[in-house]
Amino acid sequence: MKAYLDIVRNVLEKGAVRHNRTGVDAITVAGVMFEHDMSQGFPLLTTKSVPLRLVASELEFFLRGISDKRWLQERDNHIWDEWCSPSIVPYAHDSATKQKMLEERDLGPIYGWQWRHFGAEYNGYDKDYSSKGVDQVKRVVNLLKTNPDDRQMLVLAWNPMDIEKVIPPFCHYGWQVTVMDGKLNLMWNQRSVDVALGLPFNIASYGLLLHLLCKEAGFKEGRLVGFLGDTHIYTNHVDGLKEQLSRVPMKLPLIRTNNFTSIFDWKYTDSEVIGYEHHPRIKFEVAV
């Protein structure tokens, strides 16, 4: 995907080295835009492999408003293993704390919980939050079906009341949909962007969300746009990204969702990519 590779080049060529909470320096630029026309294919990187299974299961996790990372682990998804709520285990870099974070299952009021229960009081992963807070996803779906010209189809994860209860605090903090000429467009906002590891997942995740909303409301797929704030490449990711820049991108795959009834009943196994050809995997270490 040229749009992604252009961001990589931009950061490597124009970025400034900065220190950050992880202890691993990052090359950073301020303010980048990602754009993709969904008619050109599903935005899954081809210069390395990005498993849709992991992207889709995390999205289902968000759409269900779950905050228990064991749900992901039971589906062989370990991208949240290193994290937990700092209200339970205060964040630190020492090995003992990292082990406690690994063992704790409560992630706190993270993305999906905010999507489905914004404004409610969070009391743990194992509580029943039915009808508590604002269900922003249901609100957007209802507007898509009843007033698709509305300009308030917006979902926020950034809740100032809860930013001390999650680590990292809401990197992608909001998304909006619009409908124009029968096409649904999705725009997401991201305050902090890990270009090597996080951004490929964010692109694919919001592309999949756009796809599901189109199936839910009967629109064609339009534009996917990301407004990216602190956009950075960790110094230990530079070599891997340079390897990607040397690779020739392949044709983007297509996305297909089977037996769809509702976005609220959708399971990650219902969606698959068709014709996904890609270069070999590149391993990047997570900056915790």
Residue range 104-113, pLDDT digits in tens: 999 999 999 9
Q: What is the mean pLDDT of residues 66-76?
A: 98
What percentage of the chain exceeds 90 in pLDDT? 93
Q: Which homologous superfamily is 2-274 in?
A: Thymidylate synthase/dCMP hydroxymethylase domain (3.30.572.10)
Assess whether pLDDT exceeds 80 at residue 286.
no
Residue type, 280: P
Looking at residue 158, its pLDDT comes to 96
User: In angstroms, rounded to a whole number, what is the distance separating the alpha carbons of residues 32 and 13?
Assistant: 14
> For residue 284, what pLDDT band results from cuts at 50, 70 and 90?
confident
- 3-class SS at 15? coil
Catalytically annotated residue among 171, 193, 214, 263: 171
- Looking at every residue in the chain, the average pLDDT score rounds to 96
What percentage of the chain exceeds 70 in pLDDT? 99
Q: What is the mean pLDDT of residues 137-155?
A: 98
Q: How many residues are listed for the chain in this entry? A: 288
What does the block give as tokens for 26? 């990052």
> For residue 252, what pLDDT band results from cuts at 50, 70 and 90?
very high
What does the block give as tokens for 9? 């080049």
Taking alpha carbons only, the member of 172, 130, 168 closest to residue 155 is 172
**DSSP H/E element including 199:** helix 198-217
Looking at residue 285, its pLDDT comes to 81
Known catalytic residue: 214?
Answer: no
Looking at residue 173, its pLDDT comes to 97
Mind giving me the DSSP string for 84-134? --TTTS----SHHHHHHHHH--B--S-HHHHHHHBTSPP--TTS--TT-SB
Q: What is the mean pLDDT of residues 137-160?
A: 98
Phi, psi of 231, rounded to the nearest 5 degrees: -100, 115
> For residue 1, what pLDDT band results from cuts at 50, 70 and 90?
confident
Looking at residue 287, its pLDDT comes to 66
Q: Give 93 or 218, the one with higher predicted confidence.
A: 218
Count other C-beta atoms under 10 Å from residue 208's C-beta. Answer: 25
Looking at residue 288, its pLDDT comes to 56
- 3-class SS at 231? strand
User: In angstroms, rounded to a whole number, what is the distance separating the alpha carbons of residues 271 and 260?
Assistant: 9
